[in-house]
Amino acid sequence: MSVQQIKQRFGIIGNSEKLNRAIDVAVQVAPTDLSVLISGESGTGKEIFPQIIHQFSARKHGQYIAVNCGAIPEGTIDSELFGHEKGSFTGAYDARKGYFEVADKGTIFLDEIAELPISTQVRLLRVLEAGEFYKVGSSKVQKTNVRVVAATNVDILKAIRDGKFREDLYYRLNTVPIYIPPLRERKEDIYLLFRKFASDFAERYRMPAIHLDDEAVALLGSFRWEGNVRQLKNITEQISVIEQNRMITASVLRNYLPHVDIGTLPALYNRPVDEQTFANEREILYKILFDMKKDMTDLKKLVHEIIETENTNFSNLRKDSSHLFDNIYHDEGTILSRPSTSSSEIIHKNNITDTEIFVEESLSITDKELELIRKALEKHKGKRKLAAQELGISERTLYRKIKEYNMDI
């Protein structure tokens, strides 16, 4: 069966390359018993692909059960999946079969797999590895032959790092990964989906189908569609029911698109507030602030000490200099006058001469070059190779310079 025929059979709309690839992988893996992990954002239509896998497998005549793991309370999830014995917990008036027992020789689709508690993940791992499980309240091992297809809309690798998902279970489920692209990665399919939904709602509500003008089509394709296909379908239904004019302009469509101007911003993940986590994070934040304050205090203290030390050294230097010159006496007991800071003093017996010594620095490049070569050769005791390396020139260049300056080496 071709990809196009599969789309028609399962009601899949779109021609993007990524979507076609996902369908092709699902069909190829269907005849095997390999576990499959389907990933993609919420509203992309992940629930269709386990049905494709089931229908094209040898298990198509067996049970197909779809389980939303996020919708089942943590206290009852083990009972729902694996069953329980009578009296195993309060309210267990009768024994009950779980989904893994009911779907024996069939397929189970575990949607939102990342929502499973860690204890349930351990049980699931045993089912995947050995085909065994225990009912709640039972010590008897039961066998099951079931194909598991899982799906998630969260980053499983991040959940593993956060300690919320078992790494061994992830690799056991992710034998064959299938990625369902969001609408923003298949823009060419957005208008096709809109027309399909508009036609369906026109038939359902017995009214003419709505249409978009060119500007509205462009706006439809530029929107981010955080809710993906589900959001597009919802907005199409709203417009179909509310608008009297069947030709929809961009200005009308804009009224139904939430916050078009900030459509490219990432969606916020709304999770329940964990008071303990919040308290821990607040404690860490306070500690960081106190450490920063301590560091600033220490830095101020260090700077103050450096300034004090510099001032003390300068003051001592002035005192030492003054003491030195005040204690220089002439042989006949006459105190010599202090020299100025800009001159050196030559002291002779019974005579004081102030002489300023000016050393004119040579600015000749040749003189400087000659001086550097001589210093390098002296440093390395005449070894030209080492001297050349010190100067950053080749040994051949150094040899030429020595000849050029007639240096006696």
Listed range (27-36, 86-95, 97-106) with the worst mean pLDDT: 86-95
d(CA 262, CA 379): 69
**β-bridge pairing 141-143 and 132-134:** antiparallel
The end-to-end CA distance of the chain, in Å, is 92
**β-bridge pairing 141-143 and 96-97:** unpaired
d(CA 234, CA 207): 17
Residues 269-319: tens digit of each pLDDT? 444 445 555 555 666 676 677 677 777 777 777 777 777 776 666 566 555
User: Do residues 79 and 71 lie in contact, with contact meaning Cβ atoms separated by under 8 Å?
Assistant: no
Residues 122-181: tens digit of each pLDDT? 999 999 999 999 999 998 999 999 999 999 999 999 999 999 999 999 999 999 999 999
- Using 50, 70 and 90 to split pLDDT, how confident is the model at 382? confident
Give the pLDDT of residue 2. 87
Q: Is the dihedral of CA 197, 200, 203, 204 positive or negative?
A: negative
d(CA 345, CA 159): 81
d(CA 156, CA 33): 22
Give the pLDDT of residue 268. 45
For 335, which DSSP code? B
- Using 50, 70 and 90 to split pLDDT, how confident is the model at 203? very high
* Rounded (to 5) percent helix, strand, coil in the chain: 50, 10, 35
d(CA 409, CA 381): 10
**β-bridge pairing 147-152 and 141-143:** unpaired
Residue from 194, 172, 315, 313 nearest 257 by CA: 194
Residues 57-78: tens digit of each pLDDT? 999 999 999 999 999 998 899 9
- State both tokens at 173: 């489920």
- Using 50, 70 and 90 to split pLDDT, how confident is the model at 409? low
Residues 314-349: tens digit of each pLDDT? 566 555 555 544 554 444 444 444 444 444 443 344
- State both tokens at 382: 């005449």
Let me know how many helices (H) and strands (E) the chain has, helices first.
16, 13
Whole-angstrom CA distances from 17 to 186, 187, 190, 228 are 8, 11, 14, 17
Which residue in the block uniquely carries the two structure tokens 């919420």? 42
User: Do residues 148 and 97 lie in contact, with contact meaning Cβ atoms separated by under 8 Å?
Assistant: no
Helix or strand holding residue 401 (H, E) = helix 395-404
Q: Which residues contact 38 (CB under 8 A, 6 or more apart)?
A: 46, 49, 50, 149, 150, 151, 152, 177, 178, 179, 180
Give the pLDDT of residue 128. 94
Residue from 145, 174, 179, 139 nearest 41 by CA: 179
Which residue in the block uniquely carries the two structure tokens 């003051």? 315
% of the chain beyond a pLDDT of 70: 79
107 or 353, greater pLDDT: 107
The chain-wide mean pLDDT, for the chain, equals 82
The burial of 149, by beta-carbon neighbours within 10 Å (0-12 exposed, 13-18 middle, 19 or more buried), is given as buried
Residues 29-51: tens digit of each pLDDT? 999 999 999 999 999 999 999 99
- Using 50, 70 and 90 to split pLDDT, how confident is the model at 262? very low
d(CA 170, CA 405): 77
333 or 5, greater pLDDT: 5
